[in-house]
Amino acid sequence: MLERGYIQVYTGNGKGKSTAALGLAMRAVGRGLRVCFFQFIKGGGPYGEHLSAEKLSPLLTMVMTGLPGWVNTKDITDDRQAAQEALIRAEAMLLSGEYDLLVLDEIIGAVSFGLVDEEQVLELIAARPEGVELVLTGRNATEKIIEAADLVTEMREVKHYYRSGAPARAGIEM
């Protein structure tokens, strides 16, 4: 159990937000902390992190809540319902006392897509127990979310091989 937890935000248009949070999760598990890596938006799989989590259980719990595929930006109804249900689950896990570190992966992306309201995220941040480290990831963090955080890191894309048509690769991007 952590004596004091902080709120971390990993944002920006560059690759590495979820990967940084996974690195933090690995470090925490290595020290015997109980971690929940809770994924908004991401559906389908399994991804490499899910396969690793199976090996690190029970210290690392991986929860995937998104619908298969990417967010339907033409009609977000189903994605919003899934995200709202996920938010209820995430709050229960935050308050459960079972975890020292809770990563809300792509929750900021969920706000950007209109699946979760900024105010709901701020309420979740305010509800965080003192001994829980809370990490939020995703592009386009709002000013209010940034203000509520103790640490904010922005990943900035300088160059990316996707631009030349390279596909996502197992073990690297997924």
Question: Who's near 49: CB < 8 A, 6+ residues apart?
Answer: 18, 22, 37, 62
In the block, tokens 């920006």 appear at 12
Domain architecture of the chain: domains with CATH: 7-163 (3.40.50.300)
State the DSSP code for 168.
Answer: P
Kindly indicate the confidence band of residue 173, based on its pLDDT and cuts at 50, 70 and 90.
confident
Is 116 strand, coil or helix?
Answer: coil
Model-wide pTM > 0.85: yes
**Measuring CA to CA, which residue among 106, 169, 168, 115 is closest to residue 141?**
106
pLDDT at residue 32 in the model = 96
Q: How far is CA 143 from the centre of its chain?
A: 18
pLDDT at residue 166 in the model = 87
Q: What is the pLDDT of residues 39-74, one digit of tens each?
A: 998 777 778 888 888 889 999 999 999 888 889 889
**Measuring CA to CA, which residue among 62, 42, 44 is closest to residue 52?**
62
Cα–Cα distance, 35 to 28 (Å, whole number): 7
Q: What is the pLDDT of residues 63-105, one digit of tens each?
A: 999 888 889 889 999 999 999 999 999 999 999 999 999 999 9
